[in-house]
Amino acid sequence: MSLSRCFKYVNPNLSLGNQVFSNNGNNVSIGRILTSINQHQLLKSDQINELNQRRFARFNTVKRRLTHKFTWWPKKTTRINHNRMLSAENQEFLQEVYKEQYTSPLNNIEIEKKVWTPDSKRTGLIARKIGVLPLWLKTGERVSCTLLQFNDNHVINCQNVEETKKNVIFQNRWYTHNYATIVVGSESGDVTRYTKEYCSLFDKAGVPPKQKITKMVITEDAMLPPGTPLSVQHFKIGQYVDVFGKTIDRNFQGVVTRWGFKGDGSKHHGATKAHRRPGTIGQSRKAGGPMKGRKMPGHMGDERKTFRSMQVLRINTKHNIMWVKGQGVPGLINAWVYVFDAICKGRRFEAGDQPPFPTYIPSENEQVPEELNHPDVHLMESETIIYPKVEESKRRTGAKLAKVRKGK
């Protein structure tokens, strides 16, 4: 702090020409002024440090779970809950107007097919988990598959790399670095149940407001114009996909349910009610207490997880349903999930096997079958496969051999 600012802080009427200044008739020396200013600076700095410690105390410990939304996400009210008291005739009239208004602008626009490269990154789709059913392979193996339905997916908006840099928030600057972004929506909703501000997001795409929208990261060569429909044929038979969603909420659970601990059982040596307890959790307080990341009772589930490298075994083009191998898709039945191309080495697309890029574009005279199956899947319409039984050679134990010898 400069000397003039110091004197202005104590008394703005002080002059800099004299060594002793008058303040309401009392003589005040420069030393006392500087001492009071230094004390004020120390108190002010201590308060700031204490405030910063309180503000960033929760960031000192690295937390394992991220179950709640971030504080910097804006809260949006998109639904209209009050009754508008419209008659049946007026409701029908509004529905007709909305159908005429929300028509896709790509009815007469052709989407150009592009060349896929190993560095390209396509958009993902939004699906609902609708159940788990088995499939049988030609080897006789029974495989559990999760069914994912892609309902009415459309491109809402798309931004190139420069536009993404301008609109990205500070926390996601590395996630979207040198990438473009695309907004995808799923399941058209009733226009009368949404606000005007929310419906304005879909004016550029020309589609009704969606129940679920999300932003995804893509490369610039995979950009699509707003209003482009996305179907289940965006994915291929036999390819591997990554499924992202929120796990089932299990509430507060103990260590046996949450972490699979065995428990003490009957070996707790006289300690009562110790059958499902975790046991010791750390050292003395002098040694630092429990270690960071100690497995203890707490909230289980309701976390965002990604199940990687799930193989596509069957696709139903009529109902936009896809069978993926495995039953580890996170979430309950009818939960939202996001499906992307696999990124693991050996599971992602290679130079010889190219996906439909930037997405599946149907031709005019193309006839697509209702069901597309993996070559290894056994179809129910085909003949039953009968495997001959192989007789195993019976091995006689020593007791049976002794009986045989006695009989002889």
Q: Write out the two tokens for 304.
A: 């965002």
Architecture of domain 88-250+301-373: Beta Barrel (2.40)
Q: Write out the two tokens for 116.
A: 């896929």
C-alpha distances in Å from residue 388, one per residue of 140, 385, 391, 392: 12, 10, 9, 12
Q: Which of 4, 10, 3 has the alpha carbon at shortest distance from 36? A: 10
| Sequence-distant (≥ 6) Cβ neighbours of residue 193 within 8 angstroms | 79, 80
Cβ–Cβ contacts within 10 Å for residue 247, how many? 18
How is the chain split into domains, by residue range? Answer: 3-55, 88-250+301-373
Q: What distance in Å separates the CA atoms of residue 219 and residue 120, rounded to the nearest whole number?
A: 6
Peptide bond just before 209 cis, omega within 30 deg? no
Task: Mark the ranges of the chain whose per-residue pLDDT is less than 70.
Answer: 1-84, 102-109, 170-172, 285-287, 392-398, 400-401, 404, 406-408
Q: What distance in Å separates the CA atoms of residue 246 and residue 257, rounded to the nearest whole number?
A: 19
Q: What distance in Å separates the CA atoms of residue 3 and residue 85, rounded to the nearest whole number?
A: 70
Cβ–Cβ contacts within 10 Å for residue 403, how many? 10
pTM: 0.73
Q: Given this model, what pLDDT does residue 279 score?
A: 84
Q: Given this model, what pLDDT does residue 334 score?
A: 94
Q: Given this model, what pLDDT does residue 21 score?
A: 43
Q: Given this model, what pLDDT does residue 49 score?
A: 60
Q: Given this model, what pLDDT does residue 311 score?
A: 95
- Residue 236, classified by CB atoms within 10 Å of its CB into exposed (0-12), middle (13-18) or buried (19+), is middle
C-alpha distances in Å from residue 135, one per residue of 203, 378, 379: 42, 8, 9
Q: Given this model, what pLDDT does residue 18 score?
A: 41
